[in-house]
Amino acid sequence: MRTALPRRLLVAALTVLLVVTATFVALHLVPGDPVRLFLGPGADPATVDATRHALGLDRPLPVQYLEWLTRFAGGRWGTSIAQQRPVSAVIGDAVGPTLLLVGASLLLTYVGGLLLGAWQAARRASRTDAAVTAATTLLYALPSYVVALGLVATFAYGTALWRWPAVLRFPAFGAAGLGADLLGPAARFTDRLRHLALPVATLAIVGVAGTARFVRGAVIDALRQPFVRAARAKGLRESRVLLRHALRNALGPVVTLFGLQLPALFSGVVFVESIFAWPGMGRVTVQAVLARDYPVVMASTAVFAVLVVAGNLLADALAALTDPRRRTAA
Amino acid sequence: MSARTGLLAGAWADPRARAGAALIAVFVVGAIAGPLLLDHPAGGFADIVARRFAGPLSRTPDGAWHALGTDRFGRDVLGRLLAGARISLAVGVLAALVSTAVGVGAGAVAGYAGGAVDRAIVAVTDAALAIPRVPFLLLLVALVEPGAVVTVLALGVTGWMTVARLVRSEVRSLDVREFVQAARALGAPPLRVLLAHVLPNALTPALVAAALGVGSAIMLEAGLSFLGLGVQPPMPSWGNMIASGRDALMIAPWVSLAPAVAVALVVLAFSWIADAMESVLAGERVP
């Protein structure tokens, strides 16, 4: 890790630079005039020119590009056209809720996925294993917005309609109830947890299904290795062989999978936040796109990439922790 | 028998691939024939209140029978589902073709050229893999008027990386094989060696990624349309149909459920086919 770290950081920085460049290129090379799109066809030429100037779109492209890079690096992302406040404030408010959502669902995804995958591997080729594999394949094929609507129908509307106990009735909108600020700390915490339940469940259901499929394969591969036979020959209990020997050796590929799954997770976040009105990055991006709020769209795309790159660095660090062989590998 | 026909024949022996192909065939036939066969009064808007939210397998007062019920405007859900299938399947397949073509091109050039070109393409591929696809798609559709063509191109340019990686590593491993060396020794120009000898043999693993690519493109197209940023109503697409039934989930769940099931089935069908091909490829490598 010590020797690999500078290289990793360089790759990460390069990735972010490429994304920031891509957002710039996309904005300038795509046919159509963003100013006209924003103002609508009926705008008078003076307003068009004024807006173009305000957005800095009337300067030469290389100047604009350098300016966009320095401004992005310095966190000066301009002013949101739709909200009339700094883009950094708009995005700053949204990063926290998104990280909470992503963190909670990642935790559930990996705890659930590892346990389910190992459990399946222990009884591989049995009828229960086949049934669970069929279920995870189906759930993994379901788009997150479909899972989300199913959960809303069941646990927000359905529980009220069918008069299930109130504990099973979960809020489907927002991150906090009305007047949550007036509650005591304990009640506010419960309120936040209840609002988190459905969005996190959506991401975790899809995540557990994908992870369990992968873990099952990795653990089955590990169970075929000679060291597992050696562990069994020593007379270790099967549960210990499974968890301490097979599952532990399957962790390497799983950590690699984590890095690969992160972009997909952040894609799912966009849909989940839109459906549950969760005040995070995804919702901010969708609303900015619908409002043609270009400064926000450009900055949020780049911030999404920064989050994924940071997650990948974390995955590399985790990989080095779980597998000593990777500590010096590039 | 070439590697590719071997792959397809091997996959065909797998019941998952056959089930997937059958499902896709049902949707394709339905998409082509459905809108021609289903004859529903076009003037359904005359009495929306009487016709709307009819349940599945029921008749509306004007005597029309609806296998999957009607939506809030009294439109036949099955008819719209099949009309939407045309768009969803076409967008999915075209987008996967675009991304596979870009991926094969990038992977072949990187693997065959080597050196600085290779390093540059690998760096761009790795960077592109780190970009979450949906936010970047949102950026692209924000810049132009949403529609089917834009969706195809946007999905195509954001989905090529897996194919590029697979093709690159395959090209690199083929480059040192005897038949390629032989072609070169016989004086074949580099481009001919690449196109005639290396590339045809490097496409096998890309087929698996392409099959998965169709499924994910259909899922993403539906997602964009669901958010209101893809195919625009009244043109039906599975995504905007799911969205249109959202606020009637409890009184008319079939409006959202039918297109949601359709998306899931098609994605499942393509992943079954990809799984079957993957098993064949894995089996080939095990001695």
d(CA B133, CA A270): 10
Neighbours of A153 (CB within 10 A): 19
Residue B284 pLDDT exceeds 60: no
Which range (B29-43, B57-71, B82-96, B232-246) has the least confidence? B29-43
d(CA A154, CA B249): 10
Residue that wins the pLDDT comparison between B47 and A265: A265
Residue whose C-alpha is closest to residue A282's, from B152, B217, B136, B156: B136
CA distance A225 to chain B (A): 15
Distances (CA, A) of B240 to A14, B49, B246: 37, 22, 10
Q: Do B242 and A146 touch (CB under 8 A)?
A: yes
* DSSP string computed for A141-179: HS-HHHHHHHHHIIIIIIHHHTT--GGG----SSSS-TT
Which residues of chain B are at the A interface, by a Cβ-Cβ cutoff of 8 Å?
Answer: 123-124, 126-136, 138-145, 215, 219, 222-223, 226-229, 242, 246, 249-250, 253, 256, 260, 263-264, 267-268, 271
Nearest to A308 among B123, B130, B143 (CB): B130
Name beta bridge partners: A131. Answer: none
On the CB side of B30, how many CA atoms lie within 13 Å of its CA?
19
Residue that wins the pLDDT comparison between B165 and B201: B165
* DSSP string computed for A245-314: IIIHHHHHHHHHHHHHHHHHHHHHHHHHHHHHT--SHHHHHHHHHHTT-HHHHHHHHHHHHHHHHHHHHH
A5-64 residues touching B, CB cutoff 8 A: 11, 14-15, 18-19, 22-23, 26-27, 30-32, 34, 37
Measured between CB atoms, does A142 come within 8 Å of chain B?
yes
pTM value is 0.82
CA distance B229 to chain A (A): 8
Distances (CA, A) of B214 to B90, B271, B275: 10, 9, 14
A93-96 LR contacts (CB < 8 Å, sep 24+): A93/A279, A94/A279, A94/A280, A94/A281, A94/A283, A94/A284, A94/A300, A95/A280, A95/A281, A95/A303, A95/A307
pLDDT at A192: 86
pLDDT at B247: 82
**Contact criterion met (CB below 8 Å) for B177 and B116:** no
Interface test with A, best of B14, B16, B138, B157 (most A CBs within 10 A): B138
A102-113 pLDDT tens trace: 999 999 999 999
Pairing of strands B65-66, B58-59: antiparallel
pLDDT at B42: 45
For residue A328, name the pLDDT band (cuts at 50, 70, 90): low
Which range (A47-51, A213-217, B178-182, B268-272) has the least confidence? A47-51
Residue A209 pLDDT exceeds 60: yes
Query: Residues of B with CB below 8 A from A157's CB?
Result: 249-250
Nearest to A149 among B140, B246, B267 (CB): B246
Diameter of chain A measured on Cα atoms = 84
Helix (H) or strand (E) holding B59: strand B58-59
d(CA B208, CA B201): 14
Give residue A120's Cα distance to chain centre.
26
pLDDT at B286: 39
Name the percent of chain A lying above pLDDT 70: 94
**Contact criterion met (CB below 8 Å) for B132 and B222:** no
pLDDT at B269: 93
Tokens 């009337």 appear where?
A58
Name the percent of chain B lying above pLDDT 90: 21
Residue A62 pLDDT exceeds 70: yes
Mean of pLDDT values over A308-323: 80
Tokens 């969708």 appear where?
A286
> How wide is the angle at C-alpha B191 spanned by C-alphas B185 and B193, nearest 5°?
40
Average pLDDT, chain B: 84
Backbone angles phi, psi at B58, to 5 degrees: -130, 170
d(CA B93, CA B215): 9
Residue B68 pLDDT exceeds 70: yes
Measured between CB atoms, does A161 come within 8 Å of chain B?
yes
Token pair for B264: 């899931």
Residue B1 pLDDT exceeds 60: no
**Contact criterion met (CB below 8 Å) for B15 and B267:** no
A177-236 residues touching B, CB cutoff 8 A: none
Helices A87-122 and A281-290 meet at what angle, rounded to 10?
130
In eight-state DSSP terms, residue B75 is: -
Q: Do A267 and B132 touch (CB under 8 A)?
A: yes
A173-208 pLDDT tens trace: 877 777 777 778 888 888 888 899 999 999 999 999
Measured between CB atoms, does A298 come within 8 Å of chain B?
yes
Q: Do A304 and B135 touch (CB under 8 A)?
A: yes
CA distance B145 to chain A (A): 8
Q: Do B130 and A19 touch (CB under 8 A)?
A: yes
Nearest to B264 among A19, A141, A305 (CB): A141
Q: Do B249 and A157 touch (CB under 8 A)?
A: yes
Q: Which residues are CB-neighbours of B99 under 8 A, at least 6 positions away? A: B155, B156, B157, B158, B159, B160, B163, B213, B217
pLDDT at A311: 85
